[in-house]
Amino acid sequence: MSRIAQRFSDLKTNGRKALIPFVTAGDPNPGVTVPLLHAMVEAGADLLELGVPFSDPMAEGPVIQKACERALLHNTSLRDVLAMVKAFRQTDSETPVVLMGYMNPVEAMGYQSFAKAAVESGVDGLLTVDMPPEEAGDLVAALLEASIDPIFLLAPTTVDERIAKICADASGFVYYVSLKGVTGAANLDIAAVEHKVEQIRRHTDLPIGVGFGIRDAETAQRVAAVADGVVVGSAVVNCVAENADQPEKINEAVCSLLREMRQAMDD
Amino acid sequence: MSKANLPDTNGHFGPYGGRFCAETLMEPLDELLEAYERLKHDADFQAEYDKDLAHYVGRPSPLYFAERWTEILGGAKVYLKREDLNHTGAHKINNTIGQALLAKYLGKTRIIAETGAGQHGVASATVAARLGLECVVYMGAEDVKRQALNVYRMKLLGAEVVSVTSGSKTLKDALNEAMRDWVTNVDNTFYIIGTVAGPHPYPMLVRDFQTVIGREAKRQILEAEGRLPDALVACVGGGSNAIGLFHPFIDDEAVALYGVEGGGDGIDTPRHAAPLCVGRPGVLHGNRTYLVEDENGQIIETHSVSAGLDYPGVGPEHAWLKDSGRANYVAATDTEALQAFHDLTRIEGIMPALESSHALAYAAKLAPQMDKDKIIIVNLSGRGDKDIHTVAGLEGITV
């Protein structure tokens, strides 16, 4: 069983939902990332999403766009991100790590060499927001051969037929984008999310993570009530941004948010 | 097999093209494809489009024999396809008229567009004004500065111009921002992409709307010379004016095709906008194509004196035409383009856009190498009024 499947299975046994924070690797500098990953686990994170910085992050709102820009000031590359995961794995062999980003850095590295290097570094899943299953045949094959879970997105506009097709290609978990918009948007409609999650469940037994627009403990709690996992991106990255000039305060800012969310979700 | 019958049903031109975008947009893109496939064969839609091209755009545009310039170059006869004479001053309107009609038939009330030089933004604002649609144009902050006249034109037309300050603050960032708007407002918004790039079906439908250039040119050159030309030359940023001219000639293998990229300071320097000449394949803005990128797959800031060519990607059909050997891709530097700008202005009394000046610069190299009975058609894709400030500034003159 993959680390991701194992983690969701354990959570289910304990009646808990996954808290999945996202940070951009190398933001605001490469030295911050590995200690931050460990701190987030300490604060209650169950899975980690690590953003691969990209020059043209089309699906991101301003918060994560700026995080990419800060990371790219230090030329944080996909190879650097893999090295961070490898460093994280030195002392944490259990928490699943999913890379999230855009296709072009993976294209530039080549699917086979990426998959090989990723699994050697201890990466568990890959989610590229601009790679729908229609184009992903070769990538999925390379990932599965290296035992890396390809994670796909489902959106409010995804119709039943596509949900079925996407779930058939996915493994690990599926990620439901809770609103029409970019990351960090504010207009989350919980009833609509619940409705869509039920629709998705009719097509798959995979755990369903929900992300985009989860900004505080209250929304985390309400989304956790209807999904298997809660992905928190912009709210976490915002804590990093606010302390970009004093990186020693980043871990505490992020962790205090995560602890609030953890508590609300477990109540 | 014909090289002209692409893309396949999934939007692929060989290994290029396709649909690489956020899941939220997949269903709207399918709807657009379905609507387009239906309307393409709908007599009423086609009649309305043709009528607009004739009476609003002013088509057909002339095919002009540049007699004096030909004589000075001393080789092949050079004809200019006068897209600069279209309403709004460039080929861009051929496409915006078509897409605005699609928006109308789909019941969308708001249109968005990205723009580099401002020509596509102006063309979009123009058709929006005419159809009474709300219009938001995304433009890189750098381009807002260097194309102030077009910014004001768009505002006069009632459009909102959003200055994009992320990334390199140019066309690619404007495109990112337009995509973000579209994914947020997809229910009521139609995204008019200005070039033959983006996710399927955009590269196909923009091409189809622009092929009016090549169809007319073919008919006109047969009338004027009784035969097909030996070479076609067009500038390539995203590549819409070039594919519009080339496409109807793709199966005429004897006609050589030359796409001219923005060479900036030279393609052997880091400052250029020439993905087909020196880039490599990757994925950006919804399609797989040649890109200007670094070894880690990050997109590199491009440079061209012409804002309309200042783009790190290129339409996927051009990538395919390059690999298949059907078309040749070359570059003209800023200096060469400026020289051509001055030459055509002084010799023919036609002031070309800096984008089109790149095509003219290459034609000026090509013509003298060809016999006098050979024929070249250059796509004069836009007029140069918008560039007067840029040219004056480069020459230290305050207008």
Domains of chain A: 3-266 (3.20.20.70)
Give the per-residue pLDDT at B342: 98
- Say if residue B148's pLDDT is above 90: no
DSSP for A66-87, written as a single string: HHHHHHHHTT--HHHHHHHHHH
Write down the mean pLDDT value for chain B: 96
Contact B23 A77 (CB under 8 A): no
Q: What distance in Å separates residue A147's CA from the closest CA in chain B? A: 24
- Say if residue A151's pLDDT is above 90: yes
Report residue A184's pLDDT band, with 50, 70 and 90 as the boundaries.
Answer: confident
Q: Closest residue of A to B29, CA-based?
A: A157
- Say if residue B1's pLDDT is above 80: no
Q: What distance in Å separates residue A210's CA from the closest CA in chain B? A: 14
Give the per-residue pLDDT at A82: 98
Q: What distance in Å separates residue B29's CA from the closest CA in chain A? A: 11
Give the per-residue pLDDT at B399: 82
Amino acid at A14: N
Instruction: Sort B398 into a burial class: Cβ within 10 Å, 0-12 / 13-18 / 19+.
Output: exposed
Bond before A105 cis per omega within 30 degrees? no
Mean pLDDT confidence for A118-140? 96
The residue from B83, B114, B142, B355 that is catalytic is B114
Single out the residue of A153, A214, A209, A157 nearest to residue A180, CA to CA. Answer: A157
Contact A185 B21 (CB under 8 A): no
For chain A, first and last CA: distance in Å?
Answer: 29
Q: What is the pTM of this model?
A: 0.96
A193 SS3 class: helix
Do B245 and B318 meet the contact criterion of CB atoms below 8 Å apart? no
Q: What distance in Å separates residue A219's CA from the closest CA in chain B? A: 20
Q: Is B381 a catalytic residue?
A: yes
Give the per-residue pLDDT at B241: 98
Three-state SS sequence of chain B: CCCCCCCCCCCEECCEEEEECCHHHHHHHHHHHHHHHHHHCCHHHHHHHHHHHHHHHCCCCCEEECHHHHHHHCCCEEEEEEHHHCHHHECHHHHHHHHHHHHHHCCCCEEEEEECCCHHHHHHHHHHHHHCCEEEEEEEHHHHHHCHHHHHHHHHCCCEEEEECCCCCCHHHHHHHHHHHHHHCCCCEEEECCCCCCCCCHHHHHHHHHCHHHHHHHHHHHHHHCCCCCEEEEEECCCHHHHHHHHHHCCCCCCEEEEEEECCCCCCCCCCECHHHHCEEEEECEEEEEECECCCCCECCCCCCCHHHCCCCCCHHHHHHHHCCCEEEEEECHHHHHHHHHHHHHHHCCCECHHHHHHHHHHHHHHHHCCCCCEEEEEECEECHHHHHHHHHHCCCCC
Q: Is B61 a catalytic residue?
A: no
Do B160 and B113 meet the contact criterion of CB atoms below 8 Å apart? no
Q: What distance in Å separates residue B188's CA from the closest CA in chain A? A: 12
- B257, two tokens: 């095709």
Can you tell me the distance from the alpha carbon of A102 to that of A22, in angstroms, rounded to the nearest whole number? Answer: 15
Give the per-residue pLDDT at B40: 94
pLDDT digits (tens, 9 = 90+) for A19-75: 999 999 999 999 999 999 999 999 999 999 999 999 999 999 999 999 999 999 999
- A86, two tokens: 């490898």
Can you tell me the distance from the alpha carbon of B346 to that of A118, in angstroms, rounded to the nearest whole number? Answer: 60
Amino acid at B261: E
Q: Does A61 touch chain B (CB under 8 A)?
A: yes
The number of beta carbons lying within 10 Å of the beta carbon of residue B324 is 13
For chain B, first and last CA: distance in Å?
Answer: 54
Give the per-residue pLDDT at A186: 76
Sheet holding B375-380, edge to edge: B63-65, B77-82, B375-380, B231-236, B256-262, B327-332
Single out the residue of B321, B314, B336 nearest to residue B256, CA to CA. Answer: B321
Single out the residue of B59, A60, B77, A156 nearest to residue A24, CA to CA. Answer: A60
Q: Closest residue of A to B182, CA-based?
A: A181
The number of beta carbons lying within 10 Å of the beta carbon of residue A194 is 16
Can you tell me the distance from the alpha carbon of B246 to that of B250, in angstroms, rounded to the nearest whole number? Answer: 6
Instruction: Tell me which residue in B20, B186, B291 faces A130 most closely, judged by beta carbons.
Output: B20
Mean pLDDT confidence for B185-208? 97
Alpha carbons within 13 angstroms on the beta-carbon side of residue B95 total 33
Write down the mean pLDDT value for chain A: 96
Instruction: Give start and end residues of each alpha helix (H) in chain A.
Output: 3-13, 30-42, 62-73, 78-89, 103-109, 111-121, 137-145, 160-169, 190-201, 217-224, 234-242, 250-266
Can you tell me the distance from the alpha carbon of A71 to that of A50, in angstroms, rounded to the nearest whole number? Answer: 12
Give the per-residue pLDDT at A174: 97
A196 SS3 class: helix
Q: Does B291 touch chain A (CB under 8 A)?
A: yes
Can you tell me the distance from the alpha carbon of B84 to that of A83, in angstroms, rounded to the nearest whole number? Answer: 53
Chain B residues whose beta carbon lies within 8 Å of the beta carbon of residue A61: 180
Interface test with B, best of A24, A80, A104 (most B CBs within 10 A): A104
Q: Does A207 touch chain B (CB under 8 A)?
A: no
Do B147 and B388 meet the contact criterion of CB atoms below 8 Å apart? no
pLDDT digits (tens, 9 = 90+) for B38-79: 999 999 999 999 999 999 999 999 999 999 999 999 999 999
Contact A108 B295 (CB under 8 A): yes
The residue from B92, B104, B322, B386 that is catalytic is B92
DSSP code of residue A52: P
- Say if residue B355's pLDDT is above 90: yes
Give the per-residue pLDDT at A227: 97
Q: Closest residue of B to A79, CA-based?
A: B296
Report residue B99's pLDDT band, with 50, 70 and 90 as the boundaries.
Answer: very high
Residues 190-229 of B with CB under 8 A from A: none
Do A227 and A193 meet the contact criterion of CB atoms below 8 Å apart? yes
Residue with tokens 């005419």: B130
Residues 96-125 of A with CB under 8 A from B: 102-109
Length of chain A counted residue by residue: 267
Give the per-residue pLDDT at A190: 92
Mean pLDDT confidence for A107-125? 98
Mean pLDDT confidence for B276-280? 98
**For the complex shown, is ipTM > 0.90?**
yes
Instruction: Tell me which residue in B24, B167, B172 faces A180 most closely, judged by beta carbons.
Output: B24
Q: Does B22 touch chain A (CB under 8 A)?
A: yes
Q: Does B18 touch chain A (CB under 8 A)?
A: yes
Quote the percentage of chain A above a pLDDT of 70: 100
Q: Is B322 a catalytic residue?
A: no
Q: What distance in Å separates residue A55's CA from the closest CA in chain B? A: 6
Chain A residues whose beta carbon lies within 8 Å of the beta carbon of residue B283: 102-104, 107, 130-131
Report residue A195's pLDDT band, with 50, 70 and 90 as the boundaries.
Answer: very high
Single out the residue of B346, B355, B369 nearest to residue B310, CA to CA. Answer: B355
Chain B residues whose beta carbon lies within 8 Å of the beta carbon of residue A79: 296
Contact A181 B26 (CB under 8 A): no
Give the per-residue pLDDT at A72: 97
Q: Closest residue of B to A53, CA-based?
A: B298
Q: Does B289 touch chain A (CB under 8 A)?
A: no
Chain B residues whose beta carbon lies within 8 Å of the beta carbon of residue A65: 166
Q: Positive or negative, the Cα torsion across A254, A80, A19, A127?
A: positive
Instruction: Sort A202 into a burial class: Cβ within 10 Å, 0-12 / 13-18 / 19+.
Output: exposed
Report residue A250's pLDDT band, with 50, 70 and 90 as the boundaries.
Answer: very high
Give the per-residue pLDDT at B66: 98
Interface test with A, best of B32, B180, B186 (most A CBs within 10 A): B180
Report residue A119's pLDDT band, with 50, 70 and 90 as the boundaries.
Answer: very high
Give the per-residue pLDDT at A127: 97
Residue with tokens 């994560």: A64
Cβ-based contacts under 8 A for chains A and B: 123
Interface test with A, best of B8, B20, B285 (most A CBs within 10 A): B20
Can you tell me the distance from the alpha carbon of B208 to that of B202, in angstroms, rounded to the nearest whole number? Answer: 10
Alpha carbons within 13 angstroms on the beta-carbon side of residue B265 total 6
Interface test with B, best of A75, A179, A180, A188 (most B CBs within 10 A): A180
Q: Does A164 touch chain B (CB under 8 A)?
A: no
Instruction: Tell me which residue in A72, A132, A162 faces B298 most closely, judged by beta carbons.
Output: A72
Report residue B227's pLDDT band, with 50, 70 and 90 as the boundaries.
Answer: very high
Residue with tokens 């709300």: B134
Residue A230: its H or E element: strand A229-232
Amino acid at A141: A
Give the per-residue pLDDT at B62: 98
- Say if residue B260's pLDDT is above 90: yes
Q: Does A24 touch chain B (CB under 8 A)?
A: no
Can you tell me the distance from the alpha carbon of B75 to that of B355, in angstroms, rounded to the nearest whole number? Answer: 23
Sheet holding B160-164, edge to edge: B160-164, B134-140, B110-115, B189-192
Can you tell me the distance from the alpha carbon of A62 to that of B254, in angstroms, rounded to the nearest whole number? Answer: 50
